[in-house]
Structure 1
């Protein structure tokens, strides 16, 4: 468990990486550095709107906008936080406005954690795009076709085996790692030939994540 936590801390704190530096890591590093530079007292709490302005400027400067047209003919589904489109025969793209996260940094941290745990469905960050004047992230992911209905009891057993304990409904927490894992209903976890594929994940870090104690 210590090794896993060390690796995750290295990834989130920018002291390590999974493979070559990616656009995703580049943006997360900028947001992390920007957060430290914008440290304020509790009464002057950093606002997400301010973070978004800085992020937009950075995206323009670094040419991180996704310029391809996204056709509504390829629309698959939509949720509260994202819209999903077919990209090609093997991938989908997801357009996310980070509404489930207090800050954009939290969203990119969640992507990095997902990629650490679930490489078969890893997110590839393609860039940003304005949708109805709202800044959104565009990510690509392998298209998973389910072959059977997901048994949520199996999901619970799998996560329990990996030290993620059910906190309520479809939400879990790993107290040793300091990681919360939420919204794992049967549309976010698919089953193909008896193998679970986590396709939509929401991770949050607790204060315990930054502690060196296990």
Structure 2
């Protein structure tokens, strides 16, 4: 079962398998995969990120993915990595500069993993915007109205039943899948009618993700 899941995730990340709202995300990630490290002599992460951002902006222009009509008056909140705006009664827009990730491709992989595991709150990548020279991905997500405070022990139990071990505070790791899932505090996991809704996740893929698991039952 776990082995099947891992191969399924491989197919999603590589673009071989579909996931909710995944087409645009996979297209962008695939484009970056073709030349994220265009110059093999460049080892500095910052330089690689700058190269990647330039390539990404070229792709955005080619595919007409620039968004210039965001209503900033509908501001709701913000965290370290993103700002949130109300789009309508059922959706929010989130502007994310991928600051939690060394490379943009890792951010897009995060979106794909989120959409795979939590389709009820799947991110729809609708475009990009730029403000003060900073590039932001613009994603749309369903608005979740909470009915009660989130019990973090319930979050821990739910993730534990799905193979994610609590490593510290609100961070988790699935040793079989080789996936880290962080920052699941009660503002990133909401509760509506006793059901958990994961609205903001931070997934990281480790080298174990691509390794074959031979010893399993």
Alignment correspondent of 2:184 = 184
Alignment correspondent of 2:204 = 204
Alignment correspondent of 2:7 = 6
Alignment correspondent of 1:108 = 108
Alignment correspondent of 1:173 = 173
Deviation at 1:126, TM superposition (A): 0.6
Number of residue-to-residue matches in the alignment: 212
SS at match of 1:34: coil
CA RMSD, 1 decimal: 1.7
When residues 153 and 19 of structure 1 are mapped into structure 2, their CA distance, relative to the original with a 3 A threshold, is closer
SS at match of 1:127: strand
Alignment correspondent of 2:64 = 63
Deviation at 1:146, TM superposition (A): 0.6
Of 39-48 and 77-86, more deviation after overlay is shown by 39-48
Cα distance between partner residues in 2 of 1:198 and 1:51:
29
Calculate the TM-score normalised by the size of structure 2: 0.92
Alignment correspondent of 2:26 = 25
Cα distance between partner residues in 1 of 2:22 and 2:112:
12
When residues 190 and 20 of structure 1 are mapped into structure 2, their CA distance, relative to the original with a 3 A threshold, is closer
Cα distance between partner residues in 2 of 1:43 and 1:101:
16
Deviation at 1:34, TM superposition (A): 2.0
Any idea what the Cα deviations from partners look like across 1:159-202, whole Å, max 9, x if unmatched?
Answer: 00100000111000001001000000000000001100000000
Alignment correspondent of 1:77 = 77
Deviation at 1:47, TM superposition (A): 1.4
Cα distance between partner residues in 2 of 1:134 and 1:203:
22
SS at match of 1:204: strand
SS at match of 2:30: helix
Any idea what the Cα deviations from partners look like across 1:69-109, whole Å, max 9, x if unmatched?
Answer: 22232000011110000001100000000001000000000
Alignment correspondent of 1:148 = 148
| Structure 2 unaligned residues grouped into runs of 5+ | none
When residues 137 and 44 of structure 1 are mapped into structure 2, their CA distance, relative to the original with a 3 A threshold, is closer
**Kept in 1: contact 2:19–2:112 (CA 8 A):** no
Calculate the TM-score normalised by the size of structure 1: 0.94
When residues 70 and 33 of structure 1 are mapped into structure 2, their CA distance, relative to the original with a 3 A threshold, is same
1:54 matched to 2:55: yes
Any idea what the Cα deviations from partners look like across 1:119-140, whole Å, max 9, x if unmatched?
Answer: 0000000101002221100000
Of 37-46 and 174-183, more deviation after overlay is shown by 37-46
Deviation at 1:40, TM superposition (A): 2.6
| Structure 1 unaligned residues grouped into runs of 5+ | none
Deviation at 1:41, TM superposition (A): 6.0
SS at match of 1:191: strand
Alignment correspondent of 1:195 = 195
